[in-house]
Structure 1
Amino acid sequence: MKILTAKQIYEADKFTIKKQGIRSDELMERAAIGIFDWIHSRLQGANVNIQLFCGIGNNGGDGIALARHLKENDYSIQVHVVNYSEKRSKDFLLNLERLKDRKIWPNFIKEKSALPNISPDDIVVDAIFGIGLNRAPHFWVSKLIEHINVSSAFVLSVDIPSGLPCHRIPWDTENVIRANYVLSFQVPKLVFFLPETGIYQNQWEILDIGLDPEYLDATATDYELIGKNEVLPMYKQRTKFSHKGTYGHAVIIGGGYGKIGAVQLASNACLSTGCGLVSAFVPECGYHSLQTAVPEIMVLTDDDDENISAIDLSFTPNVIGVGMGMGTKEITQKAFEFFLRKNTAPLVIDADGLNILAKQPSLLKYLPKNSVLTPHPKELERLIGEWSDDFDKLEKAKIFSTENDCIIVIKGAHSIIIHKDKGFVNTTGNPGMATAGSGDVLTGMITGLIAQGYTPLNAAIFGVYLHGLAGDIGVTSKGYESLKASGIIENIGKAYIEILKSPEDVPIRKET
């Protein structure tokens, strides 16, 4: 699913209005009816007080039109117009007149107005500001937003939480509605998925308001949301007359004294994702533990008992995953440099492999094209430098990816795969995956996919989705606190099965 910018959404509105031969207020009516249907399907006429806070732009117009439908269906409502400007959109004014025609008189809130009482049992519909917000709300509007936030009422935001700009972090963290639910028109917004801005809504859902598919299909976007529909076409089905060699030979390089477990997790994940053959290259101290823990893999050892001191492979594998548990001692840095200079296999680089690159950026020129880098936040910072906010982080990651012709997996609640100027936002995963070894598992999974013939970009996108889905399945029996990295591996097979279920067997994921 494409993630459009505010400008593209406005263009989609105009395109739809022109192509479908409708008026702008008719498109607004579609939005209002969609919100009403969502509310009505859940409340079924329940005796609950609904307070609507409407701005004086098109987002407010959506709220005013919604109020009409709620009243016509006998819901108890209070309508508040947040009068923050003398300018009003024409469709807001049109719907305000329609509301008054039905003898519904809004309460106009101005700078010196008393704030209305909000009961914890009320439902608040937030339609104050939309995606066009380009400056901080007035001080008194901020006070209203704070008043709503502390009310303990259920808050439903129209399209986007009020006060949250569409393409930057908020001017003030207290100036933003904290929504229990957001009904986003047609497409999600990038701010839903970033750590600094995603905190302003608990859940979100798309409402289809009939924006013309021709525009949506033809428009290129900087970001895409990755769900089942996006990864399923990437899936490579196995053939009957295949053998282990068909699915590639991967090598996992890493480990050190006391950190062989990282290689065990990555190797096991690589196999469990479908790689035909996996060899692990570790210091000699890891030989017996790996042979015992993962009997399906082959083990190669360094002459050094505790560190990676020289990476010497007598064959060229289909792909190499490197860095986990490896350390950054000088002897290991030299071994890694020598390895990069002569290596020709595709690479997935994690952990200390990334830390060595950050220490010696001159080594970046030796990375094969489309190498996949899987940093956690601190490793990412070492690579691309400090960032001022999440949007700056994404831009720096894009520049780094373009300059070094690589793919970056920015790990987080919504991991984002960056390839040059394009970002792919993942929808699977949960807080239970914030556990030691989870990143090693991801590296092994992406490595295993590349071994099977997936392109590095598709392997990163598919691997991140599959990794998160395995974690989602794991927490259903383990809970957030007890999920371990090995538990993610145990559920990779179930994740594959879930992806391959027919659409009618798969419940629609409404919250990400």
Structure 2
Amino acid sequence: MKIFSSKQLYEADEVTCNNQNITSVDLMERAGSYIFTWLHQRMQGAQVPVHIFCGIGNNGGDGLVLGRLLIESGYNVKCYIANFTDKRSPCFLTNYSRYKDVTKNWPILMKGAEDFPEIAPQDIIIDALFGIGLNRPPEGWVKDLILHINTQRAFKLSIDIPSGLSAEQAVEDFDAIVKSNHTLTFQAPKLSFFLPETGPYVTFYEAIDIGLDAAYLESQEPLAQLIAKPQAQRFYKQRNKYAHKGNFGHSLIVAGSYGMMGASVLATKATMRIGAGKVTAMVPRSGYSILQSTVPEAMVKTDENEDFITNINYDFEPDAIAVGMGIGNNDETATALKALLKKVLCPIVIDADALNCISKTKTLIKLLPENAILTPHPGELARLVGEWTDDYDKIKKCQEFSATYKVIIIIKGANTITVMGNELYINTTGNPGMATAGSGDVLSGCLSGLLAQGYDPLLASVFGVYLHGSAGNIASQTVGFEAMMASDIINSLGDAFLELFRQEEEAPVAQ
């Protein structure tokens, strides 16, 4: 699913009206009727008071359409207009007039805190104050209104976007955002729904197709693409019945140091579990027995050094390499990494301490192979691309770094984002239980295993992140979030493949 900018969505509205020979008011009526249908199916005529808070722009117009349709169906509706300026959109004015035509209980024009209503916990609040056109944070008594709404225990439904939240800009005032229980967004979700700073304001969302011009939307380069099961299903490569292990590649895992050998174990196991035909783990000499006993399916090569890696030599041509997990920042290890980057010919995943070595020795950045996959955690990312001021600045810095060095960056976290130049791919799988030691090592193994099987580096990144998160979701259903360990993710990778093609009823997306 594509994620569009506000500008693209406004243009889509205009193109839709022209091509379908309808007015903006007609399109607003369509959008409002879809929201009414959604709410009516759930309320089934219940006489619970519905409080609709409208702004004086098009989002407020959507709220007035919904209010009128609810009144016409016999619901108990109370509508409030945040009358903070004399400027009103034409669509708002049209629907304000239509609203007054169907009821004697006209909307209450609020001018300050004295007009804020009392709302019972069993009531419903509809937030239609501001839409995606908001370009500055709400202030004064309007901000106080949002604070008032947020203190209510009633169910809160936002239309298109929680008021006060921008679709694709940093938040200036986090207190001036409606904290909704659910958001019904038009046509496609917004970028802000998936970022660490703004995502918490969109607990659940559903995208409602309001019939915007499909040809126009298809022609647009999106801000980002959302990766869910339908997309992941298309990534999967069906295996040939007559294939052998040589068809699925040989991956080299360069990982581990004294006290950090678990990183090598986890990455090696994940590489095997995700389907690589063969895996060789390269570890310090002290890790030999550990790897042979914990991952008997893998081969093991050891460095001459007992405690850390000083020389990355191999006597075969790997189809993929993953390097960095738990290797430490020793100067000799950094030198070995430099030698590897100079000679590597196959796709490569660079993680953890390898990234720290690169950040520490800036000349190594120029040796990054084209299409290398970098998988930093937040601290490693900051050392690599520089500190950021907000989530959007972080994304911009990653895009610039990716474009400059022609690499892929995976921004790990909730809704992990894969960055390749200006392209963003937002993942929809995963859960808080995956915030545990070793989870990143498992991801690096997943990526190297897919690369070894011949997946393109970008496809391996996006698909690997999806499967990693899906396995985490499956594991959490058995052990819960708190008890999850990285090895649980590995053990669920097989189920993640099976889940790809399991039919299930679509549900709202939880953040």
The TM-score range, normalised by the shorter chain, is over 0.9
Secondary structure of 1:497 counterpart: helix
Identify the residue that residue 70 of structure 2 maps to in structure 1. Answer: 70
Q: Does the aligned pair in 1 maintain the 2:179–2:201 contact within 8 Å?
A: yes
Give, in angstroms, the shift of residue 43 of structure 1: 1.5
Amino acid at match of 2:53: F
Paired residues for 1:48-127 under 5 Å: 48-103=48-103, 104-111=105-112, 113-127=114-128
Distance 1:212 1:114 in 2: 40
Question: C-alpha distance in 1, partners of 2:343/2:239?
Answer: 33
Q: Which runs of 4+ in 1 moved over 4 A?
A: none
Name the counterpart of 2:235: 234
State the partner residue of 1:15.
15
Give, in angstroms, the shift of residue 112 of structure 1: 5.8
The range that moved more, 409-418 or 310-319, is: 310-319
Deviation by residue 1:265-292 (Cα, 9 ceiling, x = unmatched): 1111111111000000000111111111
Task: Out of 278-287 and 360-369, give the one that drifted further.
Answer: 360-369
Contact 2:191 2:223 in 1 (8 A): no
Mapped to 2, the partners of 1:481 and 1:136 lie a distance apart of 37
User: CA contact under 8 A between 1:122 and 1:153: conserved in structure 2?
Assistant: yes
Q: How many Å apart are 1:492 and its aligned residue?
A: 0.7
**More moved, 69-78 vs 435-444:** 69-78
Provide the C-alpha distance between the structure 2 equivalents of 1:92 and 1:114, rounded to a whole number of angstroms: 21
Aligned residues: percent identity? 49
Gaps spanning 5+ residues in structure 1: where?
none
* Structure 1 residue identity aligned to 2:368: L
Query: Does the CA-based 8 Å contact 1:319-1:447 persist in structure 2?
Result: yes
1:411 equivalent in structure 2: 412
Residues of 2 paired with 1:111 and 1:140: CA distance? Answer: 6
Q: Is the 8 A contact 1:82 1:109 kept in 2?
A: yes
Deviation (angstroms), 1:300: 0.5
1:329-340 matched pairs, under 5 angstroms: 329-340=330-341
1:316 aligned residue: 317
* Amino acid corresponding to residue 134 of structure 2 in structure 1: L
In 1, Cα distance between equivalents of 2:148 and 2:112: 14
Counterpart residue number, 2:454: 453
Cα-to-partner distance string for 1:415-465 (whole Å, 9 max, x where unaligned) = 000001111011110001111111000000011001001000000000001
Task: Tell me which residue corresponds to 1:25.
Answer: 25
> Does the 8 Å CA contact 2:71/2:102 hold for their aligned counterparts?
no
Letter in 1 for 2:505: P
**Does the aligned pair in 1 maintain the 2:261–2:326 contact within 8 Å?**
yes
| 1:189 matches 2:190 | yes
Q: Find the aligned partners of 1:150 and 1:50 in 2 and give their Cα distance.
A: 17
- Whether the aligned pair in 1 keeps the contact of 2:447 and 2:464 (CA below 8 Å) is yes
Shift of 1:345: 2.1
Alignment of 1:94-493 (within 5 A): 94-103=94-103, 104-111=105-112, 113-493=114-494
The residue type equivalent to 2:15 in the other structure is: F
* Alpha-carbon contact 1:33-1:69 (below 8 Å) kept: yes
Moved more, 328-337 or 235-244: 328-337
Letter of the 2:170 counterpart: I
Cα pair 1:370 1:406 within 8 Å, conserved: yes
User: In structure 2, what is the Cα distance between the partners aligned to 1:166 and 1:353?
Assistant: 35
Amino acid at match of 1:506: E
Alpha-carbon displacement from aligned partner over 1:305-337 (angstroms, at most 9, x marks no partner): 111111111122001000001000112111211
Q: Distance in 1 between matches of 2:113 and 2:189?
A: 35
Amino acid at match of 2:8: Q
Residues paired across the two proteins, number: 509
Question: Any idea what SS the aligned residue of 2:305 has?
Answer: coil
- Under a length normalisation based on structure 1, what TM-score does the superposition of the two structures give? 0.98
CA deviation after TM superposition for structure 1 residue 113, in Å = 3.9
Secondary structure in 1 matching 2:336: helix
Q: Matched residues in 2 for 1:98 and 1:342: separation? A: 71
My pick for the range that moved more, 333-342 or 149-158, is: 333-342
CA distance in 2, matches of 1:382, 1:240: 46
In the TM superposition, residue 240 of structure 1 has moved relative to its aligned partner by 1.2
CA RMSD of the aligned region, Å? Answer: 1.0
The two structures have a TM-score, normalised by structure 2, of 0.98
Contact in 2 for aligned 1:84/1:138 (Cα 8 Å):
no
Q: Distance in 2 between matches of 1:390 and 1:152?
A: 30
Cα distance between partner residues in 2 of 1:141 and 1:5:
26
Rounded to whole Å, the distance in 2 between the matches of 1:435 and 1:112 is 45
Alpha-carbon shift at residue 509 of structure 1 (Å):
3.9
Q: C-alpha separation between the residues in 2 aligned to 1:379 and 1:113?
A: 50
User: Are the aligned partners of 2:252 and 2:320 in contact in 1 as well (CA < 8 Å)?
Assistant: yes
Q: Which runs of 5+ in 2 are unaligned?
A: none
Aligned residue in 2 for 1:507: 505
Structure 2 counterpart of 1:122, which letter?
D
